[in-house]
Structure 1
């Protein structure tokens, strides 16, 4: 509950108008719809979540239902279309489909302004009609307009089931918080409009798409990491590797790299004591380059002011597949985990997952083709 100050439906309607979220006509329609149900518009509610049903009669926002009203695919489609409509036409959704591959894995597909987007889904069963809430939240975030539009999607109610959502500016969201709504979830933009000019599904397409979505600092840091790659690896080989190290970027050479790392660092404390260690940086470079040369993946970089994620502010490896198929990893984090847990034979398996993600994507595309 966002506040203990009781609020009325009439006050909520006035607030929606004052903040520019609803027109006077929409607010009046909402109040009239509730009045027809003999609901007292001036009854004060201690829980402001009791007021958000007004949005339905106002004709604004959308609701995340606890269950799909029909089949699951239709449930996802209805939800995505309603969310996209909040943009006023700048975000258009089509081609919504729930695809099941030959292994029984399910993925939600839709297009946002012509761009295909995929999310892995898990369902208890088709008959229960419960949607995958992780996929729902991710998909809603994909529909935030972005570009020069400052709005984000906000969940108004405390409970996500049957919650109401609005597309709001930061000032509008703060106004509703001041009114008393908890606004527990905010989903900002992460999909940019426009498509790469390169041929779809090629390595060049994914590289171009990365730059389309990356901010200036991420692009700068990635370029700074890649530019000296060959020279840095030669120097690492000369300064740190034994003569018998198989420096051929083969998958088998990752086993030799594991032994070197484990011999050099007997635990996390030794790794921390080494500080900005040239050996570790070289190992990160060799591990990542070996992945890129043997599996369909690429280097990426994600700059962030928040250092809490292992995927922020470090060179990453991403699969040449939509992000919904995962497969990406942080070479630095994988090597640090190796030192901490001291379980060998993990580097090759982790790199191979990048290729497995692409295989999963191709399986889903084949299943989609067969279903048409």
Structure 2
């Protein structure tokens, strides 16, 4: 491992293609006026210098005065500078209902290279940024396309309150080199992260548009899994109906029919683990299909795939509402079947539709709030809240 000095670090950043030689010379001259270039760097010093080289952003952990202005600075100025203009964030707005004390939903809305993005955030005080929200949604700021760089969060050896979070923009290969040579630990470095794909071409707001948007962030194997799952949905359901359903089953994709399906699940399985163990059983597979199709036909929802960065054992069909991720309460049909068996309550399957509907309602309300904020116009109560 190389010594963690400013000089050694600078030379390696140049060698990895992360910093241009002229920028490196400028930084060495500036740092050398006040600091030794050959002294071993403590972790805090190392974390502090990386943003100065223009290859990282730092999310402040202490008082930022007012979060909306801080987010604008961080996303509109710092991200653009760090990515060299590959990512341009504009029109950032903090969206929340100031008049509804019972509604604690907060969102950031901004444009990423002209495309709308929503982030879910939470603030106990307007003086502090939501570092957890940034960590969970930082992937929306990756350049994407053919650019292999990703914002990797540095992991500290000792975590203390009010520390800044530092995100280095690097390709996985560059990040691994920094880890191996300078003992820098990055969250999720060995995961298989999909690159942000091309924007959807379907009509905005349609089911196809939302499915295309999901695929932008899925690994190729997960896309293939979802395509196989959807390839003959009607035929698979007809076969399941003929092989497993009693004649009285109301095969009409109504929410009432889910109570009957729930009772069939309870008759077959005593608890949650029994359902999970039978995940590949033809009855369970068909029940997952029917539950999912019923939820889709009774709400603005669509099929998706739980894709835990390429972990094949965890791929599962899921239902997502036709909303941005910030509003989603995604539902995995297999888990709902297990929930019904565990609680011995067949009505649980129908209740899943309510949670998905609430996601759509929250999104619709946020859109109205955003429009009201931008227009500087009527209060929410005047725009059909």
TM bucket, shorter chain: 0.7 to 0.9
What is the Cα deviation at residue 118 of structure 1?
0.9
Equivalent of 1:222 in 211, 222, 226:
226
Q: What are the ranges of 5 or more consecutive residues in structure 1 without an aligned counterpart?
A: none
**Aligned-partner Cα distance in 2 for 1:270–1:91:** 47
**Aligned-partner Cα distance in 2 for 1:209–1:273:** 32
- Does the 8 Å contact 1:265/1:339 carry over to 2? yes
- The change in CA–CA distance for 1:10 and 1:210 in structure 2 (over 3 A counts) is closer
Aligned-residue Cα RMSD (Å) equals 2.7
What is the Cα deviation at residue 364 of structure 1?
0.4
Q: How many residue pairs are counted as aligned between the two chains?
A: 361
- Does the 8 Å contact 1:214/1:302 carry over to 2? no
Residue by residue over 1:182-236, the C-alpha shift from the partner in whole angstroms, topping out at 9 and shown as x without a partner, is 23325855533423241x2233422343455545544443333233322322332
Equivalent of 1:365 in 361, 367, 371:
367
User: What residue number does 1:88 align with?
Assistant: 84
- The change in CA–CA distance for 1:157 and 1:291 in structure 2 (over 3 A counts) is closer
User: What residue number does 1:281 align with?
Assistant: 285
User: What residue number does 1:130 align with?
Assistant: 128
What is the Cα deviation at residue 341 of structure 1?
4.3
What is the Cα deviation at residue 362 of structure 1?
0.6
**Aligned-partner Cα distance in 2 for 1:210–1:269:** 29
- Does the 8 Å contact 1:100/1:107 carry over to 2? yes
- The change in CA–CA distance for 1:30 and 1:52 in structure 2 (over 3 A counts) is farther
Residue by residue over 1:88-130, the C-alpha shift from the partner in whole angstroms, topping out at 9 and shown as x without a partner, is 222221121110035231111111122211121111122xx22
- Does the 8 Å contact 2:194/2:218 carry over to 1? no
**Aligned-partner Cα distance in 1 for 2:279–2:27:** 61
- The change in CA–CA distance for 1:9 and 1:363 in structure 2 (over 3 A counts) is same
Q: What are the ranges of 5 or more consecutive residues in structure 2 without an aligned counterpart?
A: 375-385
- Does the 8 Å contact 1:8/1:42 carry over to 2? yes
- 3-state SS in 1 of match to 2:185: coil
**Aligned-partner Cα distance in 2 for 1:136–1:339:** 37
- The change in CA–CA distance for 1:276 and 1:13 in structure 2 (over 3 A counts) is closer
Report the TM-score, using the length of structure 2 for normalisation. 0.84
- Does the 8 Å contact 1:52/1:164 carry over to 2? yes
What is the Cα deviation at residue 162 of structure 1?
1.7
2:13 counterpart of 1:9: no
Map 1:346-357 onto structure 2 (within 5 A).
346-357=348-359
- The change in CA–CA distance for 1:25 and 1:239 in structure 2 (over 3 A counts) is same
Residue by residue over 1:243-265, the C-alpha shift from the partner in whole angstroms, topping out at 9 and shown as x without a partner, is 33232221122122111101111
- Does the 8 Å contact 2:304/2:317 carry over to 1? yes
- Does the 8 Å contact 2:195/2:216 carry over to 1? no
User: What residue number does 2:74 align with?
Assistant: 79
Map 1:279-358 onto structure 2 (within 5 A).
279-302=283-306, 305-307=310-312, 312-358=314-360
**Aligned-partner Cα distance in 1 for 2:303–2:51:** 46
- 3-state SS in 2 of match to 1:99: strand
Report the TM-score, using the length of structure 1 for normalisation. 0.86
- 3-state SS in 2 of match to 1:62: strand
Post-superposition, which runs of at least 4 consecutive aligned residues in structure 1 deviate over 6 A?
none
- Does the 8 Å contact 1:236/1:282 carry over to 2? yes
User: What residue number does 1:20 align with?
Assistant: 17
What is the Cα deviation at residue 283 of structure 1?
1.0
Map 1:137-152 onto structure 2 (within 5 A).
137-152=135-150
